[in-house]
Structure 1
Amino acid sequence: MSWLYLGIAVIFEVAVGMAAGQAQGFTKLSWTIGTLVSGAIATFFLSLALLTFDVGIGYALWTSLAGVGVVIIGALLLSQRLTWKKLLGIAVVIAGVVGLNLAGTA
């Protein structure tokens, strides 16, 4: 169940990144509210996941996977360029997440 909670937390953290980008320094009220509400939901589900995960592992998984998600969504929906350097960075992050997960279970 903790993986489900973590997945939900990641989805809402991606929403935080996307909404914050549209909030224009918190000058757009609806996007600001979306950022804050998404952040609260993401943090709530992260806290549930951390009942099982070590804090360092859970937080690293959450932020890393959300960061990759924001880059991918930005490329798919916002016409942001996905260069080979970004792809390499994503691969390194994923390798790190796998490594942390394996280290957390040993």
Structure 2
Amino acid sequence: MSWLVLILSGVFETVWAAALGASKGLSRPVPAVTFVLALALSMGGLAYALREIPLGTGYAIWVGIGTIGTALYGIVVLGDSASAARITCLALILAGVVGLKLLH
């Protein structure tokens, strides 16, 4: 159960990051409220998952999911660059996250 919660918390990290950007400095109410709610769910889920998952592993995986998710959101929705170098770097982050899970 902790791993599922950790994964969902990483997804909520992507949500709060996207909402923070959309809030334009927390000046737009709907994205600002979305940011606060997603942040609370993300942090709460991380805290729950770390009861059973080692801190270094859990935090790295949580950040990795958020990083990859936010970068993909930027590429797909916001039109950020999808250069080969960026995709390669995202693949390396993914490899590190998978490696941490497998070596746990």
Aligned length: 104
Gaps of 5+ in 2: none
The alignment status of 1:82 with 2:85, answered yes or no, reads no
Task: Spell out, residue by residue over 1:3-55, the C-alpha distance to the aligned partner (whole angstroms, 9 max, x if none).
Answer: 21012101111101110111111111221111111000111111121111101
Deviation at 1:103, TM superposition (A): 3.1
The sequence identity of aligned pairs, in percent, is 29
Q: Which runs of 5+ in 1 are unaligned?
A: none
1:44 alignment partner, SS class: helix
Q: CA RMSD in A?
A: 1.2
Matches of 2:15 and 2:103, distance apart in 1? 28
User: Residue in 1 aligned with 2:9?
Assistant: 9
CA distance in 2, matches of 1:81, 1:97: 23
What is the TM-score of this pair, normalised by structure 2? 0.91
TM-score by length of 1: 0.90
Cα displacement (A) at 1:87: 0.5
Cα distance, 1:76 vs. partner? 1.5
